[in-house]
Structures are given as structure tokens and as C-alpha cells.
Chains A and B, each alone.
Chain A
Amino acid sequence: MSSMKKPPSGEPLLELRGVAKAFGQVIALRDSTLALYPGSIHALVGENGAGKSTLVKIIAGLYRRDSGDFRYDGETVDFSTTAESKAAGIAVIYQEPTLFPDLSVTENIFMGRQPRGRFGRIDRGAMRAEVESLFARLGVAMDPDRTADGLSIADQQMIEIAKAISLDARVLIMDEPTAALSGVEVDRLFQVARALRDEGRALVFISHRFDEVFALCDTITVMRDGSYVSTRAISETDPDSVVAEMVGREITDLFPKLETEVGEPLLVVEGLTSPGVFSDISFTVHAGEIVGLAGLVGAGRSEVARAVFGVDAYRSGTVTVAGTRVPGSKPTAAMRAGLALVPEDRRKQGLVLDSSVGRNTTSVILDSLAKLGIVTTGAENRAARPWSEKLEVKANALSTIAGTLSGGNQQKVVLAKWLATDPRVLIIDEPTRGIDVGTKSEVHRLLSTLASQGMGVLMISSELPEVLGMADRVVVMHEGRITATIDRDDATQENVMRAATHSSSTESEHAA
């Protein structure tokens, strides 16, 4: 490894100062600052929801900032489309590569700016020659005429990088490029990144893997809750202080945690494995207990929840609810055994937005409501009322259309729907995402109450304070594996975050 890490100097090539962006009520960026210098690889780190992706999208011209300065090459700029930022020499490689599956590799690289000859005819010869020289330079052995369909993520990223180089991009932003790569592929990517740096380009590397960040980058900017925290030379900091800056916020008394008696084991998961998604997942949720499942986005937490509930298939392992084996891939069996799953994306997976609150609440218990196969609205509303009242769903009536409710109230309807099945174990994925503070604490109080009544709760959350405030035990996942199980009394933001970023990650293998 040739790591020449000189600190950047001179004028920044790209500079953001005090940039803010809100989507309706939700503030994605408050006050973010970033300065990129030519010949430098700049790490951008922060927890989920810290605003990294929003910042990148503002630079790329996908979003427009609400306020703040954005200077590029000495001038104030205001990109309103990706075409503009591209023309200015800014290339972004997104987490999910964005290629055209039906078109050839060559076409993917040059789409929208193919070299042209007479009558606007695309000069295929020139295109071909340039691809070959690009690939030679990147050390890529790929047939330029094959379609992009079926390429590995690593090869797709190489195409994105080839695209960026052929654009002669001066700024190259890579959003978690290594998340899906194997060790060899990561090495290749880093070699290319260093070569680009040495040519005087400015690179941004967004990653949750600190070993990679510290191996590759020369500068690091930490973000938290949409705000800028710090920028340092990599030589002047270490993973522990970066973690401390990422999480450094006060835990408020937002969490009305009730002390409960922990009873018998209700949900026992053993050795659950789904190749390439998660492996060897084992944990237990007892009656009266809230278990927090923590980890970064993409760690495989929601996938585990879906597998446990039987939505997704898994290859090996067992799920037992109150002593009864639950077969895989059968949500109905999971429900009968006493499991309930409140999914992450309630708009897509949890609610029928065009239906009434009453109908939504009773949609999973229709069988028990039906008389001779017919369900009346009256029966629906009678069954829905107690739960809606208990949860204080703020709807004018049970006939209100679910889509018109606020995020917090929609979440309550989803909860009501699953509680109506009278579950023994409740799996809840991101219970308070996109919910205002007041409703948040109501949801928290409710979860606490349910646990104190003897329900087992598995709570997936990306918000550390929520995990630490609510959970009796924290199970931390990193790239499909459990890296730590920490009791409530020992759990701190730092040790959970350290387990979630699991610094020795490159040694563990990734899906081959």
C-alpha cells in the first residue's frame, strides 16, 4: 500500500458552508460544511441519517439546498440537474450503481455524451478505442460489448469509475462503494482511488468501515444529525475519537422505560443463515423484555426480522416461539404462533393508504371477524375501536382514510392492526422513523407498557438513543453477523457504535 497522506493545502476545489435542507417538516441537513481539495481523499462519516447522502445529492444537483454557500472552482454554483454538475466535472457513484441493464458496457459509459461524427452519427470506433484505453488504465478485463445485466457490483462500480474518468471528473464522490465488495475487489478499488488522487482529483469516500477509512483517506469530516461536527487530518485522529464525535449527543429522558420482570424465553432464534444476507444469527427474546437490534443501514437487521416472520426464506437455522417451532417462509404460521411484525416502511408494507383506519386495523384478523365469509364495516369498526382508542389514534373517525393521517398516527394504526392479533412477540422495525417528538414518546411508552404486560418486543432501530433508552439488551449486527450482545447496564453509545462499525470487518469474508 502506498499511502502518502499529505494534508490538503491551498484553495478548496469544492466548498459547502452552512448548507441546510429540509423535506417538509423533516430537517435532513441543518448546517453542514465540507471542503474538498485537489489531490486528496476525503472521508465523510456519520451515523445513519446524519445527512451524508443528502449532502451528496445536493452536490450532484439532485436536491437544491435551502440555504448556505456552495462554491466550486472559486465560483458560487447552484446545480439544478445532474447534467449541470456532471458538466462541471463532478461525478457521483451511488450506493446502488445506476446502469442500464439492457445496454452494452460501452454505451453505459458514454450514454448522453457519445463522440459524434457526421450527421450526428455516433462514432463507435472512437468510443471503442476510449473504452479500451480506460479499461487498460483501470486494469479492468471486461468485454465492452456485453450488456450491463448480470455484472457484479464491483464491475458495475468499475464502469461508474470509468465513466467518471472519461468525464475527466475533478471531483469523484463514492457513497459506500465497498459495502458489497470482496477483499480483492476493495484492494483494486483503492488502487484506482489512489491513482486518481495522485492525478490531482478530489475524492470523497463515504464508508462505515473505519479500517478502510483510515487506510485510504487523508482527511475526515464527521457529521451528526444533519450538522457538521469536525474536519481533521486522518493522522491527527483515531477510530475511538471519531466514534465519540459521531454519537456525541445527550440522551434525554425521552424514554419512559418501565422496570419489568423478565420471564420465560418467548422467541428463540438459533443459527439463522441466509447466504449473502446474514449468517449464524442467534438471539432470544424473553417475556417482558425489549431487545434492541442495532446496527447500520445494510447490516441485515430488517432482513433478519423478515426471515423470522417468514416473509423471506432462509437456508438454515430455527425460529421457536414459546416452545413451538415456526416453519420458514410462512407468515400465516408465524402469526398463528404469536408473532407480529411492524415493518420498516409503513407506507409500503404496513398500511393500505387508500383504505379507512378501521379497515386497516382489522385487515389481519378478517378471518375471525367474518361471518359466512362476509365482513361488515360495522364488525370491522367494532373490532378496531378498542385498539384505536388504546393507542389514541388521532383520526376523526374510523372511516378516515389512513393516507391522510400524520406519520405518527399512521404508525399507531399499523401497531393497532398487529396488536389486534394479540401477539406474544412483537417485532417492530424502526418504530419512530419520521415521527414527531411527541408521538415518539407515546410510541415508546406503549412499547414499554406492552413489555410490562408480558409481551416480548424485538425493536430494530437506527437511533442509538432510542436503543439505549428502551432496550433491556442490545444485539448489534454488522454486515450480516451479530458482533455484540450488550446488557442494558453496560451499553453505551460508544460500544454499540464500535460493534456496529466493527473495525476488523475486511477480514471477515463477504458474500462470494
Chain B
Amino acid sequence: MSATTLNAPSVGFGAIVGRLTRAREASILLAVLLVVAAATIKNPNFLFSTDGYRDLWLTPSLLLLVAVGQAVVLITRNVDLSVGSILGLSAYLTGRLFIDMPGLPAIAVVVIAIVFGGLLGLINGALVAFAKVPALVITLGTMYAFRGINVLWTGSDRINASDMPRGFLALGTAQVLTIPVLTIIAVIVLIAVAWWMKNTRGGRECYAIGSDPDAAHLYGLPVTRRVLTAFVLSGALSGFAGVLYAARYGTINSQAGAGWEFDAIGAAVIGGVAIFGGVGSVWGAAIGAALLMTINRALPVLGVPDFWQRAVVGVLIIGAIVLDRVLSLRQHRKLIEERETQR
């Protein structure tokens, strides 16, 4: 064969790409640590008080769950705007179950809420996969629809901590080796989803579908099934976050989880998940969630006025997207130049 006609391959190129991707996650993690350090220098209580330390772990945990699901959906070149509404509905469902069916064990309530979220995700997925309407439109619709149902169902009612069993509420504050249980749960879910995305056909196919949907079709990949799976996962994780929300905050009204969809998308994008799919990792989204929530808490400590706090988040998101775009353009050009010089 004509192996001699070709130059040596660009050795270790893949390794470089791998390192770059990891560098993204590492740099976001570094940013989290910097923010924590800055806030702690300004006010030691940010890290070195019982509450401060606990909140550091707890605050990102719920968003982390939602952002992980969102990342999987984004990687398939879709988007799920309904996650906040699903979270709200499932949080209220949790409270209602405790009030209306007092005999039900807490674990059953958790399972019911997760399954409920998964079903709402299935509605999204089915509409996207079968009706062939862009996910942006479908989930914008279900975002309002689910929230509407929530308002209809809740009315001016409110679930209070006293309505729920103490054992369940303890979940919100319990710790193992100084780490809150909620955080441990979120990280276990993160590890499981990350493993699935990296090591199984299903996970890799999600990347392939997001990278080029037409090619995925030509490859004969089960596109419909994977897209459904992504939405069900996103729904189920939002449902799960809803239960944990109930346990953590104890108070649930009809607006629980409003606006979370944008925090989740923001976290994923900051963490390096491409808005057009195919690129990124759930790890990145998780660390992005940590950065977003930690910044939200740190800015007041650092004396940044309220007014500017949302703007900072916006700058962060735009910065992340511009950075991604520049990096990918530069890499694309480099690959082409490399190819031309090889000829």
C-alpha cells in the first residue's frame, strides 16, 4: 500500500484536544476557587462559618442536577426551557403527597416525583421527536403550560415546612463528613450521567446527533430514541431537583423554580457545552453551575451592587460563548493549514 506517500500523522493531536477540553473544566473550577478566595478574604464568614461553609456546597447542588440534564439535551442539539416549570410542579407535588397521603414513605414520594418529572420530559421529547418542531418552541410552550398548571393547581396556596415530615426535611440539612447529603446525591447523579455519556453507545450517540443530525440519520442511529432519552433524563432530574427543593427550602408556592431554565442553560454554556450540540461535558455543566451560584452569593459579599449582579452573569455567558467560538474557529483553521502543509 501507499503508506509512504503520506507524511507522518500529527502525533498526539487527540491528546492535545483532550487536554484543551479538560483545561476548560479546570479553568472554570479555578474560577470558582478564586471567587471563593476573594469573598473569603473580604469576609472570612463566607467560608469559615458553619452556614457559609454549608451554603457553599448546598447552593449549587440543586442547579447542578438541572444543569446536568440540560447539558445532555443541549449536546443533542436541542434545548429544554421547561426545566424550571417541571421543578416547580414536582416540588408542589411532593408537598401535596405528604399532606394528602400521610402514610406514604418519603422514599416513595421521591420516586413518584422523579417519575413525574420524567413523564413531563417525555411529553417534551415526544413533541420534539415526532412533531419535528424545534425544541426551543416546544419547550417554550411547555414552560408556560406547566407553570400555568402549577398556578391553577396551587392557587394562592403554599406548602410550609410544617406540612412535611421532619425526617424528610432533615435531608435538606443532613451532612456526612461535613458534606451535605444533597451535594453527595447531586455528585453521584453527576458521576453516573457523566459515565453514561462517555462510555456507552447511547451517550456517544447523543454527541453524534448533536454534531451532525443528518449524518446521524445516514448512519442509521436511533435518533428519536436518543432525543427522547435526553428529554426524559432532563425531566427526571428536574423532578428530582424539585423534591430536593422541597426538602431544602420547606416553602413551596406556585413560582418555585421560575427562571431556573436560564440558570441551567447558562451553567452548561459557561461550562463549555456548545449551544449547537456535539461538544462539551456534563462535568463542565456541573462546574458551571457551581461557578454561577457561587458568584451569585459572592458578589454581595464583595460589595457589588444588586443591580450589577445579573449583568456579571450575562457577561460571563457571553464571554464563554465568544471564547468557544474563537477557539473552535482557530482550531478549525489550524487543522486546515496542517492539512495543506501535509500535501
A121 to B8, CA, bound (A): 32
Cβ-based interface call for B233 (8 A): no
Cβ-based interface call for B1 (8 A): yes
Residues of B within 8 A of A142 (CB): 9
Interchain CB contact (< 8 A) of B13 among A101, A122, A145, A191: A145
A144 to B208, CA, bound (A): 17
Cβ-based interface call for A363 (8 A): no
Which residue from chain B places its CB closest to the CB of A101 in the assembled complex? Answer: B211
A187 to B4, CA, bound (A): 13
Cβ-based interface call for A82 (8 A): yes
Flag B13-25 by CB within 8 Å of A: 1 or 0 each: 1110110000000
Residues of B within 8 A of A184 (CB): 2, 5
Interchain CB contact (< 8 A) of A143 among B12, B199, B278: B12
A102 to B8, CA, bound (A): 22
Is the CB–CB distance between A143 and B204 below 8 Å?
Answer: no
Known: A100-B278, A141-B6, A187-B2. A111 touches B219 (CB 8 A): yes
A151 to B9, CA, bound (A): 12
Which residue from chain B places its CB closest to the CB of A117 in the assembled complex? Answer: B199
Is the CB–CB distance between A152 and B2 below 8 Å?
Answer: no
Interface size of A by Cβ–Cβ distance < 8 Å? 48
**How far in angstroms is the closest Cβ of chain A from B281?**
12
A84 to B219, CA, bound (A): 10
Cβ-based interface call for B51 (8 A): no
Is the CB–CB distance between A81 and B212 below 8 Å?
Answer: no
Cβ-based interface call for B207 (8 A): yes
Interface residues of B in 287-343 (CB under 8 A from A): 331-332, 334-336, 338-340, 343
Is the CB–CB distance between B214 and A98 below 8 Å?
Answer: yes
Cβ-based interface call for B218 (8 A): yes
Interchain CB contact (< 8 A) of A152 among B12, B199, B217, B339: B339
A98 to B208, CA, bound (A): 11
**How far in angstroms is the closest Cβ of chain B from A104?**
6
Is the CB–CB distance between B219 and A112 below 8 Å?
Answer: yes
A137 to B2, CA, bound (A): 10
Known: A150-B332, A187-B2. A103 touches B9 (CB 8 A): no
Residues of B within 8 A of A112 (CB): 201, 205, 208, 219-221
Interchain CB contact (< 8 A) of A149 among B220, B222, B335: B335
Interface residues of A in 97-121 (CB under 8 A from B): 98-104, 107, 111-114, 116, 120-121
Which residue from chain B places its CB closest to the CB of A82 in the assembled complex? Answer: B220
Known: A141-B6, A143-B9. A99 touches B221 (CB 8 A): no
Known: A104-B14, A116-B201, A143-B12. A191 touches B217 (CB 8 A): no
Known: A82-B218, A102-B211, A116-B201. A137 touches B1 (CB 8 A): yes
> Contacts A114-B204, A122-B199, A184-B5 given; 11 further ones with Cβ under 8 A?
A98-B218, A107-B208, A112-B205, A139-B6, A141-B3, A141-B7, A145-B14, A145-B17, A146-B17, A149-B332, A151-B335
A-side interface residues toward B, CB under 8 Å? 61-62, 81-84, 86, 94, 98-104, 107, 111-114, 116, 120-122, 136-147, 149-152, 155, 182, 184, 187-188, 191-192, 512
The 4 tightest CB contacts between A and B, nearest first, are A145-B14, A150-B335, A139-B1, A83-B220
